[in-house]
Amino acid sequence: MNRERPHVLILPEDAANRDIANGFALDVDHERALQVLPVQRGWTNVRDALQQTFVPELRRYRCAHLVALIDFDSRPDRRMLFTDELALPADIAERVFIAGALTEVEDLRRSLVSRHLISPNTLEGIGEALAEECRTGSSLVWGDELLTHNAVKVARMRTALRPILFN
């Protein structure tokens, strides 16, 4: 990946979120513009890595965007713990996205399977379906009750990231 060109970093909380990110990566048109980072083992570690490592990196590489994938553990206010505690600097705030399942990824997988919205029935399948919806602008998967709390961030992601990842 050329860090001087527009690119997207995905910072997953755990292995399940990494699998979703890997599935997403399989379905983008410009795979060299996307990097799935190592698992952080907990949302607080994601928050700390964002503050300690990625705020400086985003300042250094002005074409970089970061998507932090976390489980909200039934706490939709968890996003505020990132933005309020970190007080993301204005110069990078528009390039940082905090998203994830309202409860746990496995709950999301079960919900999407029961609604016949993913195939294959895997976490990677969720990522592929989310990528397809980013490409097309549809919202069947993003509209799942366990993802709707991300609606504002999804709209921002589509605007900012679609030109980087999709034709």
pLDDT given at position 3: 77
Q: Alpha-carbon distance 17 to 39, whole Å?
A: 8
84 pLDDT band (50/70/90 cuts)? Answer: low
Q: Alpha-carbon distance 100 to 151, whole Å?
A: 11
Cβ neighbours around 87 below 10 Å, total: 9
Mean pLDDT across the chain: 91
Percent of the chain with pLDDT over 90: 75
122 pLDDT band (50/70/90 cuts)? Answer: very high
**Residue 88 vs residue 105, higher pLDDT:** 105
Does the structure show a pLDDT above 70 at 141?
yes
Residue 103 carries which DSSP code? Answer: S
85 pLDDT band (50/70/90 cuts)? Answer: low
pTM: 0.92
Does the structure show a pLDDT above 70 at 1?
no
Residue 38 carries which DSSP code? Answer: P
- Residue in 72, 100, 98 with CA at minimum distance from that of residue 86: 98
What mean pLDDT is predicted for residues 19-38? 95
Q: Which amino acid is at 89?
A: P
Q: Alpha-carbon distance 85 to 20, whole Å?
A: 26
